Amino acid sequence: MNIESIIRKLARSHYWQTIYSSSKELDRISLFENSNDFSGLQFYFLNWLRIYAMLYSELSEYTDKKLTEKVIEDDCRCDAYLYYRRKKIEFDWKKHREKERLDELKSKHHFKNEGNVSLIDVNVGEE
Amino acid sequence: MKPEVFQDILNESNFLNAELIQDNKFHFYHEGGVYRVRMPKQKELSEVNKAKNSFYVELLKTPNALSKDNLKKLLKESQGIDIEVMELELKELEESLYKVYLDLAGKKDANEEGIQKCKDKVSEINDKRFKLIEKISSYLTPSIEVQIENHYMEQLASICTDKLENSEKEEWKKVWNSFEEFMNDESTLRLYAVSLLAKLMMGVNA
């Protein structure tokens, strides 16, 4: 097992997840012995603590059928899920922006009868 | 550094587990002694950065010293080694990795065979990627940028490596008193210190 895998295993452990969530509520709990000059490994660990806390929270809310406990526990499947999740967020955001643009266009032109309106990008060359 | 030496270092660090992150130090054993590398303090970093800049100027004055870009050009012209093609290949491998990721993310827990097939593909692609990265970095080792980075890590390792002198009192003593002493040390401790410090810092320059 390489160092990255060991750190991820520690970060998703019940022990560290509990300490992490408690440290957000209680000031007196500190995660490390040092309070400055953090190492790269500590930053890496903190990043994974945050990611796993987010995934466990989403798992408890059943936000996505693709997310299961087994996915979280397997580094490769977890990486794959995180990539899929990022793409999904990007896609949803793009859809949301398009809807906003469409609504803006509709309100601008005061369409009386609502029909099927779609928005397309037209390349009109350089302005 | 030989790959087997680096692998040895990583294996040795396996037993440390939680110690990896509980503080900003990395403890290790070497030929019967207990050592540690620690994160540099701000003052030490600024001193090493000054030395890094002087080394850069020194390298610029050196005949035949090449930047990464110029070395790439020279490799292509004189040896027919095209680093840009390799970098493109690396990008393509990343794209194919993402495709497998999307496939893997869609697999249900019960589909063990499908999951395993995807994981095998991921590890096959990653193997190719790491070999290519290794190949590119070995070609670019003589470049000014890589030499500066190596010099920087060596400077830091020479400052941030301590030996446990008294375990009861937990007394640590600096291993090398100067950078010159560090450079003259022919033992493998120097290599261990540099690679472990690089691992501890993971690209963090604070």
B30 and B125 fall within a common domain: no
For residue B206, is it within any domain? no
B104 and B150 fall within a common domain: no
A·B CB contacts under 8 A: 94
Cβ-defined contact of B104 to A6 (cutoff 8 Å): no
Q: Check: CB of residue A103 under 8 Å from CB of residue A96.
A: no
B76 and B58 fall within a common domain: no
CA atoms of B167 and B35, how far apart (whole Å): 11
User: What are the residue ranges spanned by the domains of chain A?
Assistant: 3-25+39-109
Closest CA to B27 of B127, B135, B181, B172: B172
Torsion, Cα A50 A54 A57 A59, to 10 degrees, reads: -130
CA atoms of B8 and A116, how far apart (whole Å): 65
Q: What is the pLDDT of residue B17?
A: 65
Q: What are the residues of chain B with a beta carbon less than 8 Å away from any beta carbon of chain A?
A: 10, 13-14, 17-18, 20-26, 39-42, 98, 100-102, 104-107, 109, 115, 118-119, 122-123, 199-204, 206
CA atoms within 13 A on the CB side of B171: 5
Q: What is the pLDDT of residue B185?
A: 95
For the stretch A42-53, pLDDT in tens is 999 999 999 999
Total domains in chain B come to 2
- Domain that residue B40 falls in: 3-62+145-201
For the stretch A65-123, pLDDT in tens is 999 999 999 999 999 999 999 999 999 999 999 999 988 888 877 665 556 666 666 66
For residue B102, is it within any domain? yes
Q: Check: CB of residue B34 under 8 Å from CB of residue B164.
A: yes
B38 and B96 fall within a common domain: no
Interface test with B, best of A2, A33, A37 (most B CBs within 10 A): A37
Q: Check: CB of residue B38 under 8 Å from CB of residue B25.
A: yes
Q: Closest to A41 (Cβ–Cβ): which among B14, B104, B202?
A: B202
Query: Which positions ≥6 away from B41 have C-beta within 8 Å?
Result: A37
Report yes or no: A30 at the B interface, CB cutoff 8 Å: no
B76 and B127 fall within a common domain: yes
Cβ-defined contact of A44 to B202 (cutoff 8 Å): yes
Q: Check: CB of residue B105 under 8 Å from CB of residue A55.
A: no
pLDDT in tens, chain B (206 residues): 344 444 444 454 444 467 788 999 988 899 999 999 999 999 999 999 999 999 999 999 999 899 999 999 999 999 999 999 999 999 999 999 999 999 999 999 999 999 999 999 999 999 999 999 999 999 999 999 999 999 999 999 999 999 999 888 889 999 999 999 999 999 999 999 999 999 999 877 64
At which of B103, B124, B140 does a domain end? Answer: B140
Q: What is the pLDDT of residue A2?
A: 85
Find, in chain A, the residue whose alpha carbon is nearest to that of B44.
A37
Tell me the backbone φ, ψ of residue B25, rounded to 5 degrees: -130, 160
B135 and B150 fall within a common domain: no
Q: How many CB atoms lie within 10 A of CB B61?
A: 7
At which of B140, B158, B186 does a domain end? Answer: B140
B101 and B125 fall within a common domain: yes
Q: Is B105 exposed, middle or buried (0-12, 13-18, 19+ CB in 10 A)?
A: buried
Rounded to the nearest integer, the mean pLDDT of chain A is 88
At which of B140, B163, B181 does a domain end? Answer: B140
B57 and B152 fall within a common domain: yes
B48 and B77 fall within a common domain: no
B74 and B131 fall within a common domain: yes
Interface test with A, best of B21, B27, B118, B204 (most A CBs within 10 A): B21
Find, in chain A, the residue whose alpha carbon is nearest to that of B20.
A41
B74 and B136 fall within a common domain: yes
For the stretch B115-155, pLDDT in tens is 999 999 999 999 999 999 999 999 999 999 999 999 999 99
CA atoms of A17 and A10, how far apart (whole Å): 9
Q: What is the pLDDT of residue B67?
A: 95
Interface test with A, best of B23, B24, B120 (most A CBs within 10 A): B24
Percent helix, strand and coil across chain A, each to the nearest 5: 65, 0, 35
Q: What is the pLDDT of residue A26?
A: 80
Q: Is the pLDDT of residue A9 over 90?
A: yes
CB contacts of A80 in chain B (<8 Å) are: 100-102, 104-105, 118, 122
